[in-house]
Chain A
Amino acid sequence: MNERKSPIREQRIVRYIVAVAILAAALTYGRTRAAPDLEPLIESIFPAAASTQQDQNVYHVYDTDDHLIGWAGLGQSGGYGGPMSVLVGIDATGTVVGVRIVEQRETPVFWSRARVPDYLRAITGSRYDEVGYDYQDIAAVTGATLSTDAVIESVRTSIADVAGVAFDVHMPLPRKPFEFGLLEIVILALFAVGIASRRLRGPKRSRVRWGAQITGLVVLGFWKESPITLTKITAILSGYLPDVRTSIAIYLLLAGFLLTTILYGRNLYCLYACPFGAAQRIVGVIGGRRLKLPPWSVRAMETARNVVVFGALFAAFLTLQPALAGYEPFAVLFSLRGTNLQWLLLFIVLVASLAIRTPWCAFFCPMRTIEVVIQDTKRWLRRKRREAAT
Chain B
Amino acid sequence: MRAMQIFNSGFFWFIEGILCVVMILGLRAFMRERGIPMPAWKWVVFGVWVLFAGFTIAFVGTSLGEGEPTAATRGGLLFGLIAVIGGAGAWRALVSGRDPGERAQVTDS
Contact = CB atoms under 8 A, between A and B. Distances in A.
- Verify whether A and B have any Cβ pair under 8 Å: yes
Majority-rule SS of A interface residues: helix
Contacts of B88: 286-288, 354
B84 interface: yes
A347 interface: yes
A351 interface: yes
B28 interface: no
Contact of B85 (A283, A336, A344): A283
B70 A340 contact: yes
Interface in A330-359: 336, 340, 343-344, 346-347, 350-351, 354
A340 B73 contact: yes
Contact of B77 (A286, A344, A354): A344
A347 B81 CA distance: 6
Interface in B76-94: 77-78, 80-81, 84-85, 88-89, 92
A286 B73 contact: no
B86 to A, nearest CB: 8
Contacts of A343: 73-74, 77-78
A351 B76 CA distance: 14
A288 B78 CA distance: 21
Contacts of A344: 77
Given A340-B73, A340-B74, A351 B85 contact: yes
B82 to A, nearest CB: 10
Interface residues of B, number: 12
B104 to A, nearest CB: 24
A288 B90 CA distance: 12
A346 B77 contact: yes
Nearest to B82: A350
Interface residues of A, number: 13
A228 to B, nearest CB: 23
Majority-rule SS of B interface residues: helix
Contact of B84 (A288, A336, A340, A354): A354
Interface in A264-280: none
Interface in A73-102: none
Contacts of A340: 70, 73-74
B81 A286 contact: no
A310 B89 CA distance: 37
Contact of A351 (B70, B78, B81): B81
A170 to B, nearest CB: 51
A347 B80 contact: yes
Question: B70, B73, B85 — which one has the most chain A CB atoms within 10 A of its CB?
Answer: B85
Interface string A282-294: 0100111000000
Interface string B62-81: 00000000100110011011
Contacts of A286: 85, 88-89, 92
Given A286-B88, A286-B89, A287-B88, A350 B73 contact: no
A272 to B, nearest CB: 23
A7 to B, nearest CB: 41
A346 B77 CA distance: 9
Contacts of B73: 340, 343
Given A351-B85, A354-B85, 20 more contacts: A286-B85, A286-B88, A286-B89, A286-B92, A287-B85, A287-B88, A287-B92, A288-B88, A336-B74, A340-B70, A343-B77, A343-B78, A346-B77, A346-B81, A347-B77, A347-B80, A347-B81, A350-B81, A350-B85, A351-B81
16 contacts: A287-B85, A287-B88, A287-B89, A287-B92, A336-B74, A336-B78, A340-B70, A343-B73, A343-B77, A346-B81, A347-B80, A350-B85, A351-B81, A351-B84, A351-B85, A354-B85
A-B interface, 6 closest residue pairs, ranked by CB to CB distance from nearest:
A286-B89, A347-B77, A287-B88, A343-B77, A354-B88, A347-B81
Interface of A: 283, 286-288, 336, 340, 343-344, 346-347, 350-351, 354
